[in-house]
């Protein structure tokens, strides 16, 4: 699979629709969450780097099949948020997410990032997501009960990048 993938960081006008379709395919996100994912692409297109949003796209045969969105956390020296990581439903379980995660961590490290934070829901639907973060050597750093809704807490994961 890796040989068939190409990666890019530049954001294109067509990415908004690609991200809408990709995030919808996962079955994980609400329409409002999908709209936010698209808004981040649009903000990057309008403002460039000053948006604070950076993207990594995985493509196969010219089609976006996975992506990450990350950026520096305002008012911190070297902490970054990984806002989004998603792989098209049809291609989950093929290692694309792990490749995207590693390449995103490399990009964050090159930008001076030392700590990466990721948040997700505590709902059962996200069990596989939380296992994925743990498998990528993230540790659970915080839990906020009932954050999103009653019975739906926020779990925050952290990875400290080794300074090579």
Per-residue confidence (pLDDT) for residue 2, from 0 to 100? 46
CATH number for the region 2-160 comes to: 3.40.630.30
Q: With 50 as the cut, is the pLDDT of residue 1 above it?
A: no
Rounded to two decimals, the pTM is 0.93
Model confidence at 3, pLDDT cuts 50, 70, 90, reads: low
Average pLDDT over residues 5-18: 96
End-to-end CA, the chain: 28
pLDDT in tens, 122-140: 999 999 999 999 999 999 9
Q: How confident is the model at residue 162 (pLDDT cuts 50, 70, 90)?
A: confident
Let me know how many helices (H) and strands (E) the chain has, helices first.
4, 7
- The domain spans of the chain are 2-160
């Amino acid at each position: 699979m890796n040989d068939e993938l190409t990666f890019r960081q530049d954001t294109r006008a067509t990415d908004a629709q690609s991200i809408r379709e990709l995030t919808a395919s996962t079955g994980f996100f609400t329409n409002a969450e999908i709209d936010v994912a698209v808004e981040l692409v649009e903000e990057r297109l309008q403002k460039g780097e000053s948006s604070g949003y950076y993207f990594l796209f995985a493509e196969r045969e010219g089609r976006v099949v996975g992506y990450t969105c990350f950026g520096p956390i305002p008012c911190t020296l070297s902490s970054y948020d990984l806002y989004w990581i998603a792989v098209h439903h049809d291609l989950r379980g093929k290692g694309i997410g792990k490749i995207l995660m590693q390449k995103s961590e490399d990009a964050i490290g090159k930008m001076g990032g030392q700590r990466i934070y990721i948040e997700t829901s505590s709902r059962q639907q996200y069990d596989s997501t939380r296992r994925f973060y743990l498998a990528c050597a993230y540790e659970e750093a915080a839990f906020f009960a009932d954050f999103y809704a009653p019975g739906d807490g926020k779990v925050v994961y952290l990875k400290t990048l080794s300074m090579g």
